[in-house]
Amino acid sequence: MQTDTPWSTLPAREHLLAAAVDAAGAPVLDVVVPVYNEEKDLEPCVLRLHDHLTRTFPYPFRITVADNASTDRTPQVADRLAAVIPQVRSYRLEEKGRGRALRTVWSHSDSPVLAYMDVDLSTDLNALLPLVAPLISGHSDLAIGSRLSRSSRVVRGSKREFISRSYNLILRSSLSARFSDAQCGFKAIRREVAERLLPMVEDTGWFFDTEMLVLAERAGLRIHEVPVDWVDDPDSTVHIVRTATDDLKGVWRVGRALATGALPLDRLARPFGDDPRDRGVPGVPGGLARQLVGFCVVGALSTLVYLALYSLFRLGTGPQVANGAALLVSAVANTAANRRLTFGVRGRGGSVRHQAQGLVVFAIGLALTSGSLAALDTASGSPSHGTELAVLIAANLAATVLRFLLFRAWVFPDRRTDHPGDRPGAAHAPRDAR
């Protein structure tokens, strides 16, 4: 994975002011059309797109034809269009790959909003303004067209429908993706986000979109989805089997990188206070509300895992051994989940120390729960399984409160220090970033 991105966090999202845009002289929107051997479809596509933007888009725009090493007359058609239409630019690459084309053109563009669409224009262009509007307004970081939204209208064969839905199901189950359609060739991104996100994206082909979206989502960037009307192109030259194979390899590679903390996603974080959820609550220390929510969610799931393991281990051993084994397994998972999700610590640095400290917290919880079981046994002799579970739940509630306090104050303390001139809510360097 490539990680040569700037260190500082992203600036706060702001609305693109018309006066500032006019002063910069660059078009607000740069729409890239990646092509490979599209000499027949390229000119109708560009003329139709140009006409639509001229009639409906209220800001200056540019259309960039990104030629992926075509071997037919596509470069000549692109050059002719660029010579005739002022808003059209032609860009030639000597290597194939849609991802490579998008990365190259977006990296060199001076427009604050970058988009792309397929040359077949399968997506209805009426969705273009809704796609880029949240990026212009500063509401979102990326925007994607979705063919799988309930309000989308899609015309395509059952084979492609099955493949698309199966692929997105794989993304949801393996990478915990929450966006609905990774493969629709209709996406946009703010330039400052692209500058830091694209160097982390390794794929240069069709998996480029998916990798970009997964990393953006894991970094906490806001992805806006637009329902689109889409008509399948029966003459598409996409090799379905080879593309699917490459995509699955990409899913494995990205999943492994995320699991090992190999990507510095901290560098894509927005400054604290940019999101309304970050706004301070009087009397509540910064970040406490979010940490409480995350800790409660992780704790609830850990408790379910613990109770299931206890019931399983209890089938073959006594209550004390079953309790200790179940609590140990769930404690390791709980520490790892809280480290990443609740307290936002990324990367492998300090993970061993955190787990060691987590085991100390585990020992305290073990003492509480084991002591409760011992007291129950002394009081009632041979308690029922249901009574044991009830006592364990009560003991775990007490242990949970203590666990949160220890996690926040000792295992994952906020080591950020204020600097002169810092304002409340200002961004600080991410902790434990590597």
The pLDDT value given to residue 78: 96
For residue 397, report the phi and psi dihedrals to the nearest 5 degrees: -60, -45
Between 98 and 424, residue with greater pLDDT: 98
pLDDT tens for 155-184 read 877 777 788 888 888 888 888 888 888 888
pLDDT tens for 179-196 read 888 888 999 999 999 999
The pLDDT value given to residue 434: 35
The pLDDT value given to residue 425: 37
The pLDDT value given to residue 381: 73
Please say if 4 is a catalytic residue.
no
pLDDT tens for 213-233 read 999 998 889 999 999 998 887
Between 31 and 397, residue with greater pLDDT: 31
- Among 223, 132, 114, residue whose Cα is nearest residue 179: 223
pLDDT tens for 355-395 read 888 888 878 877 887 888 788 888 877 778 788 888 878 88
Point out the catalytic residue in the list 41, 209, 266, 274: 209
The pLDDT value given to residue 118: 92
Q: Tokens representing 309?
A: 């393991």
Q: Is-contact 294 341, C-beta < 8 A?
A: yes
Across the range 114-130, mean pLDDT stands at 94
The pLDDT value given to residue 19: 59
> How many CB atoms lie under 10 A from the CB of residue 80?
15
The pLDDT value given to residue 424: 36
